[in-house]
């Protein structure tokens, strides 16, 4: 059992150093929802209609702002207003993937000014740690959070094995202030053997050699207060297993939350494509994912 999966979301919220992660965990507990809706539609009206109908069921609304043809900052303002009224966080699934200087500009400027309205965003670790430094220079002073893409849900993707391991290492080296978790299909943040040994020997917080998780960033398993806590948000979820014609692969809420120990399911077409019944279906996903979480806690 992973150390994080035996704690409640409320317990984790109390200890988390990042304001966005803390707020997300508090909302999850308050609303009994570990469901994020992915609103992949192309007009402001459609996005807002879906958010208004499912906003009370979810802990997080995920956007792709570059597919919204009539995007404006007024729309973003309205989304922020709804996020406060309906109690969810906003996650812009931007998947930054460039050098630090460029992502700094992509995050803060342009038409979308993502950092001004999105609580959470994400990045590929592919370019190296400069991508985190660039994004954190903008986002951390605002209390935002970042997820690294450690794994993907699509068939035959390349984010596996050593790449995934190094994504987790990169997060640990960045410290706890800004990188709050991963897009992943599994609990990728398993404690490394070295940090376990060091915990047994009482060697934590800067006394280790060559292990990024105990490098003095407060990321080692050196007691409850210091324990690292990454959020795992997982796309590729529908009520039954399957896929689409373009390589997407679906697992069920139970598989993702109970079997794999992830924290939040991300559901797009499973909710917004069921026209007129979005709220009803969102409630089914919320219940399924929450029951899987409660069962996991009882194990």
Do residues 188 and 168 lie in contact, with contact meaning Cβ atoms separated by under 8 Å?
Answer: yes
Instruction: Confirm whether residue 14 is marked as ligand binding.
Output: no
38 is a site residue for ligand 5FU (CB under 6 A): yes
Query: 117 and 79 in contact (C-beta within 8 Å)?
Result: yes
CA distance 126 to 99: 10
Place of tokens 């959020």: 231
Q: Is 95 a catalytic residue?
A: yes
| Residue 249: strand pairing partners | 243
| Widest CA span in the chain | 58
Q: Which is catalytic among the residues 32, 98, 199, 287?
A: 98
Options 31, 93, 189, 229, the catalytic residue: 93
Q: Where are the alpha helices (DSSP H) in the chain?
A: 9-15, 19-31, 44-54, 73-86, 100-108, 130-139, 161-174, 193-201, 253-254, 269-272, 278-298
CB closer to ligand 5FU out of 145 and 268: 268
Residue nearest to ligand 5FU (CB): 268
CB of 214 to ligand 5FU, least distance (A): 29
**Is 98 a known active-site residue?**
yes
Whichever of 153 and 260 has its CB closer to ligand 5FU, that residue is: 153
Task: Please tell me whether residue 292 binds ligand 5FU under the rule CB under 6 A.
Answer: no
Copy the structure tokens of residue 215: 């490098």
**For ligand 5FU, the closer CB: 26 or 263:** 263
The angle subtended at Cα 65 by Cα 60 and Cα 71, nearest 5°, is: 120
If one counts every other C-beta atom within 10 angstroms of the C-beta of residue 292, the result is 21
Any known ligand binding at 153? Answer: yes
SS3 265: strand
Write down the least CB distance from residue 238 to ligand 5FU, Å. 7
Q: Has 156 been annotated as catalytic?
A: no
What phi and psi values does residue 296 have, to the nearest 5 degrees?
-60, -40
Binding test (CB under 6 A) with ligand 5FU, winner from 24, 170, 183, 289 = 183
The 242-281 site mask, x for binding ligand 5FU (CB under 6 A), equals ------x-----------------xxxxx-----------
Binding-site residues from annotation for substrate: 40, 62, 153, 248, 268-269
Residues serving a catalytic function are 93, 95, 98
Question: What residues line the site for ligand 5FU (CB under 6 A)?
Answer: 38, 40, 64, 93, 149, 152-154, 183, 235-236, 248, 266-270
Binding-site residues from annotation: 40, 62, 153, 248, 268-269
């Amino acid at each position: 059992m992973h150390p994080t999966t035996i704690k409640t979301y409320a317990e984790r919220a109390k200890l988390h150093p990042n304001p966005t992660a803390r707020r997300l965990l508090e909302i999850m507990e308050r609303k009994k929802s570990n469901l994020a809706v992915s609103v992949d539609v192309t007009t402001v009206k459609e996005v807002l209609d879906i958010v208004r109908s499912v906003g009370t069921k979810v802990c997080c609304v995920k956007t792709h702002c570059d597919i919204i043809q009539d995007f404006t900052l007024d729309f973003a303002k309205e989304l922020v207003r709804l996020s406060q009224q309906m109690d969810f966080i906003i996650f812009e699934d931007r998947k930054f993937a460039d050098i630090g200087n460029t992502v700094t500009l992509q995050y803060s400027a342009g038409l979308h000014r993502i950092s001004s309205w999105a609580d959470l965003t994400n990045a590929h670790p592919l370019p190296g740690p400069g991508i985190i430094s660039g994004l954190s220079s903008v986002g951390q002073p605002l209390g935002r959070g970042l997820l690294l893409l450690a794994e993907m849900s699509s068939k035959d993707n390349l984010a596996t094995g050593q790449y995934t391991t190094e994504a987790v290492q990169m997060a640990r080296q960045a410290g706890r202030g800004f990188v709050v978790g991963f897009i992943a299909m599994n609990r990728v943040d398993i404690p490394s053997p070295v940090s376990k040994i060091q915990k047994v020997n009482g060697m934590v917080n800067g006394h280790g050699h060559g292990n990024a998780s105990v490098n003095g960033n407060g990321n080692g398993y050196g007691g409850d207060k210091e324990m690292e806590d990454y959020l795992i948000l997982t796309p590729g979820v529908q009520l039954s297993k399957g896929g689409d014609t373009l390589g997407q692969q679906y697992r069920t809420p139970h598989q993702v939350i109970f079997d794999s120990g992830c924290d939040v399911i991300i559901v797009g077409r499973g909710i917004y494509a069921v026209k007129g019944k979005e709220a009803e279906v969102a409630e089914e996903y919320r219940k399924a994912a929450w029951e899987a979480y409660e069962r996991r806690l009882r194990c």
